[in-house]
Amino acid sequence: MIYLDNAATSYPKPPEVIKAVCGVMEKIAGNPGRGGHAGALAGGRIMERCRELAAEYAGVSGPEKVIFCLNCTDALNTAIRGTLHAGDEVLVSHAEHNAVLRPLMGYHDAGKITVRMLEPDPRGLLSPDTVRRAIGPKTALMVLCHASNVTGLIQPAQAIARACHDQGVPLLLDAAQTAGTEDIASIHADMIAMPGHKGLLGPMGTGLLCLGDGMLPRPLREGGTGSASESLRQPAMLPDRLESGTANLPGIAGLTQGLKFMLRHRGAITEYEQTLRARLREGLGNISGVTVYEGPSDAAHTGVISFNLRGMDSGQAADALNQQKIAVRGGLHCAPAIHAWLGTAGAVRASLGPFNTDRDVDSFLSAVLAMAHA
């Protein structure tokens, strides 16, 4: 199989990730925070090491500001639902994923908040000045999709963060497509939601919410934390405030190794994926009947390219590629707002990862060329 669906989940995983997941299940008999014996303590050390690595990457002030979540969607929900109050206004970009839009629109439809979607410039970039002008007295949060999972276009997040902070509005950054390949720390977002299973190269079912100073969302879930067990109230301290129940220790162990791998090779991974993306983009541009959806050529992109073949539905095209053992994704990619802005009813998405090769790209291009000329 040629795997070009890394925007959904990265594959393959580094061998040390797989080894760590299996190692926990084979060797650690204990539940972190639920005992003082060797197994429970060993599990706790794994979790703490993962927090330390994530805090280093995200640029937050301490490991306690790193919250383990079920996935990036869970992290976004924790940030959104735990921060907003009735009467608040939220600003969002046009490129948001349903993980952001659905919880917000649920509140909006119930009359609890108002949501304003900001229009980008004709190139697809959201101007910091647009954000600055949109902020009003009721604006309580700005949510920004750092990079579209459809076009791969990276937004000027650092400048947008400054525009928000100038007027006292926190920025929640959805780093689903940029965590692991982009410099997240320099943005200085107030909250950062990251999946563990994409660019961080960890297992599925892992996610992180990294909190800036002063951010203390209300918990989505309450229950056992392994701390302050004498109290009938949820602990106020982080990370316990936002983490109830047994943690996914095998997943966190794998994520720890994924973070280590990423931090060792981050610059090389980013450069390599950009080289592959340029090869893929040039090849698609040379195929008659292919329409590529992206931002301006001089703007930064992730390793994501979406396109359509003339006369072929995106789902049909993705299925045809699957028959040739090439894994891509067709459809709306859980991002209907940007497809509406693009004027598409779906697209075929090819997304690159650190373990793809020139041969993968060339084989994919040959398959698309054959389909275009069929």
Comma-separated ranges of CATH 3.90.1150.10 domains in the chain? 2-9+266-372
The fold adopted by the segment(s) 15-261 is Aspartate Aminotransferase; domain 2 (3.40.640)
- Three-class SS state of 354: coil
Q: What is the pLDDT of residue 374?
A: 80
Q: What is the pLDDT of residue 15?
A: 98
Phi-psi region of 311 (alpha: psi -120 to 50; beta: other; left: phi over 0): left
Give how far Cα 364 sits from Cα of 241, 297, 369, Å.
47, 22, 9
* C-alpha dihedral sign at 27, 32, 38, 43: positive
Please check whether residue 139 is in contact with residue 83, taking contact to mean a CB–CB distance below 8 angstroms.
no
Please check whether residue 247 is in contact with residue 67, taking contact to mean a CB–CB distance below 8 angstroms.
no
Q: What is the pLDDT of residue 79?
A: 98
Residue carrying the six token digits 């698609």: 284
Q: What is the pLDDT of residue 63?
A: 98
The torsion of the CA quartet 315, 318, 323, 324, rounded to 10 degrees, works out to 160
Q: Is this structure's pTM higher than 0.95?
A: yes
Please check whether residue 167 is in contact with residue 135, taking contact to mean a CB–CB distance below 8 angstroms.
yes
Q: What is the pLDDT of residue 216?
A: 98
User: Quick count: other Cβ atoms within 10 Å of Cβ 224?
Assistant: 14
Pairing of strands 2-3, 89-93: unpaired
User: Quick count: other Cβ atoms within 10 Å of Cβ 257?
Assistant: 25
Per-residue pLDDT in tens (0 to 9) along the chain, 374 residues: 999 999 999 999 999 999 999 999 999 999 999 999 999 999 999 999 999 999 999 999 999 999 999 999 999 999 999 999 999 999 999 999 999 999 999 999 999 999 999 999 999 999 999 999 999 999 999 999 999 999 999 999 999 999 999 999 999 999 999 999 999 999 999 999 999 999 999 999 999 999 999 999 999 999 999 999 999 999 999 999 999 999 999 999 999 999 999 999 999 999 999 999 999 999 999 999 999 999 999 999 999 999 999 999 999 999 999 999 999 999 999 999 999 999 999 999 999 999 999 999 999 999 999 999 98
Comma-separated ranges of CATH 3.40.640.10 domains in the chain? 15-261
Please check whether residue 153 is in contact with residue 294, taking contact to mean a CB–CB distance below 8 angstroms.
yes
Q: Which CATH architecture has domain 2-9+266-372?
A: Alpha-Beta Complex (3.90)
Assigned token pair, 102: 């659905």
